[in-house]
Structure 1
Amino acid sequence: MDTFSYLAQTSFPLLWLLIAVVGAAVRTRHSPSRAAKLEIWQRWWAGAALGCGSLWLVIAFLVIPDEMAATIGFARTPFEFEIAFANLALAVLAFRAASPSATTRERALVGLGAGMFLWGAAIGHVHQWLAAGNHAPGNTGGILVYDVLAPAVLIVLAHRAQRLSGANESAHASR
């Protein structure tokens, strides 16, 4: 595999993170408050980064399971089907977190739930990388960044929104 092909394959998961960042940055240009900006960032991160990224994996693991397994550096097994449905759960939760009626607490919980799966996957990728020398595009590179950042950023954004909300409540109570 040539370098360009490898970079294109390993970088693809980063597309979902980039879409979330660009979308949120564009939408927050004229936001009236810090709370409104955090709301927009949470919704874009949940919907684009985690939701669309997970939905893409659902489709890929169901439609082209042989290619997905090979991209990760493995032969096809029944686990591709299971990974598809684990990602479907993440997509459904992420799209709920992206809805206007989702609470900060819901978004934090979605981030934590996604983290349990994706951080476990990241540990597995690193183990395969170090123990077996697996440098397949779907095992190292962009997928590791995605697996770590997709839930972590959602958790951090929700935490910041919660702290801001608490600070605003304290300011109103002291008046």
Structure 2
Amino acid sequence: MWYIFTGVPLLSALIHFFLSKKPKSINRITELLLLWYLGVGIGIGSLFSGLVQVLSPEIVAQSTGWGYSPFLREVGFANISYAVLGLLAVRFRNFWTPAIIAYAIFMWGAAAGHIYEIQQTGNLSSGNAGAVLYMDILMPVFLIILLIIYHKTQKNNKSS
């Protein structure tokens, strides 16, 4: 599922960029990538993850190789909060940085937990290792880089 919430925003941003009548620039493509990743990647992706964790925590426990815990539902509500931040960030640009910071802290904390679990138990379940782990680390880095590029190119556009 991770590929949907990474591929769809990328493809959508590129299509939006090339079909848009607005001037083409680095600032514009980073703006569109941020909007699509905040809305679809964080917003819809976190909503989907959160709802699965709240409504079917047993499925999540099975995919991670961990035992069922009522804390899975609590993690689900945390994911839903990131979903709300991501969706609000599509409408309100002053939510971009807080949404990305909150998402990064959560995802890097999750990555640390996955790494610890791999080291301690050798758990290489699909929900604990592999693509899930890489995405937990790399997606926040990608969003932070986009945000920095967006602000840097925005300043350059204003001074031109």
Q: TM (normalized to structure 1)?
A: 0.83
Deviation at 1:145, TM superposition (A): 2.4
Residue pair 1:49, 1:150 contacting (<8 A) in 2 also? no
Pick from 74, 79, 97 the counterpart of residue 71 of structure 2.
79
Greater relative contact order (Cα 8 A, min sep 6): structure 1 or 2?
Answer: 1
1:15 equivalent to 2:4? Answer: yes
* Unaligned segments of structure 1, at least 5 residues: 1-11
Partner AA of 2:85 in structure 1? L
Find the counterpart in structure 2 of residue 128 from structure 1.
Answer: 117
Residue pair 2:65, 2:125 contacting (<8 A) in 1 also? yes
Find the counterpart in structure 2 of residue 5 from structure 1.
Answer: none
Deviation at 1:16, TM superposition (A): 0.6
Once the two structures are superposed, residues 80-104 of structure 1 have per-residue CA deviations (whole angstroms, 9 ceiling, x without a partner) of: 11111110111011111122x414x
CA distance in 2, matches of 1:124, 1:94: 23
1:153 equivalent to 2:146? Answer: no
Pick from 86, 98, 112 the counterpart of residue 94 of structure 1.
86
Aligned length: 157
Matched ranges for 1:41-56 at <5 A: 41-56=33-48
Structure whose CA Rg is larger: 1
Find the counterpart in structure 2 of residue 33 from structure 1.
Answer: 24
Quote the RMSD (CA, aligned, Å): 1.5
Deviation at 1:167, TM superposition (A): 1.4
Q: TM (normalized to structure 2)?
A: 0.90
SS across alignment from 1:135: coil
Closer/same/farther in 2, CA of residues 56 and 91 from structure 1, 3 Å limit: same
Find the counterpart in structure 1 of residue 52 from structure 2.
Answer: 60
Partner AA of 2:132 in structure 1? I
SS across alignment from 2:18: coil
Residue pair 1:61, 1:84 contacting (<8 A) in 2 also? yes
